[in-house]
Amino acid sequence: METVVHEIASGIYRLSTFVAEVAPPAGFTFNQFLVLGDEPLLFHTGPRRMFPLVHAAVGRIIPPERLRWISFGHYEADECGAMNEWLAAAPHAEVAHGQTGCLVSLNDMADRAPRILKDGETIDLNQGRRVRYIDTPHVPHGWDAGVLLEETTGTLLCGDLFTQLGNDRALTGSDIVGPAIAAEDMFDYSSLNPGMGTTIRRLAGLAPRTLALMHGPSFTGDGAAALHALADDYDRRAAKLLPETVRMVNA
């Protein structure tokens, strides 16, 4: 296994490890994103066993001990399995996550107390960079789920949203909605709920110019259109399963 590094937006690096054994024959990527600044932030730590690879990849960009913030979509091994390894490697690093994630898991599981972020709260990384935390409970899964928007470049660090199989380019302008629908059909990984379309459309309102996928390429282009199309697909799925509930929510 190797971890490759690409800059997908100004000062935002995608660290990508392709694992052929997951979902063969297409395989699956595990991506972390390093956002530069005086206070560099890593979104997703990678699984614990991938720590040496990810640590070395971060080391190609900055001294790893300079890392200041660790954040991720939700509490799961591929999102945050190496959280405590990172807290040990970077003495000034803090985990930052939403209230639910901190109260339910991180206050106990993280070796240092996490910073609790309110929905919409920002972290100033300095050098003109700021990330905004947005709660997305149960979307695509996890009560504690959330995403980060890097405001200068309009990059949405969107975690498991748009998950796709295979190992495409680091950055694409091609359709990411079709491959995401195919992966959802295959894995059933989302906590399908009647509010899902609404939660995803709220992210479309941020008009992101880059979508940084945890499993798949990063997308450059009309992020809002892609999010609307994804929201429509989840509404379609929810309407099939929960017709009466969806009718009431949309009334």
Of residues 176-235, which lie at the interface with Fe ion (CB under 5 A)?
214
User: Contacts with Fe ion: how many residues (CB under 5 A)?
Assistant: 4
133 burial class (0-12, 13-18, 19+ CB within 10 angstroms)?
buried
Binding mask 14-53 for Fe ion (x = CB under 5 A): ----------------------------------------
Residue closer to Fe ion by CB (options 76, 233) is 76
Q: Which is nearer to Fe ion, 160 or 184 (CB)?
A: 160
- The reply to whether 78 sits near Fe ion by the rule CB under 5 A is yes
How far is the CA of 158 from the CAs of 212, 218, 225, 244, 248, in angstroms? Answer: 6, 10, 15, 29, 28
Burial 34-48 (b: 16+ CB within 10 A, else e): bbbbebbbbbbbbbe
Identified binder of Fe ion from the candidate list 3, 8, 15, 76, rule CB under 5 A = 76
Least distance to Fe ion, CB of residue 245, Å: 24
Q: Which helix (H) or strand (E) holds 223?
A: helix 223-241
Site for Fe ion in 112-171 (CB under 5 A): 160
Contacts to Fe ion by CB under 5 A = 76, 78, 160, 214
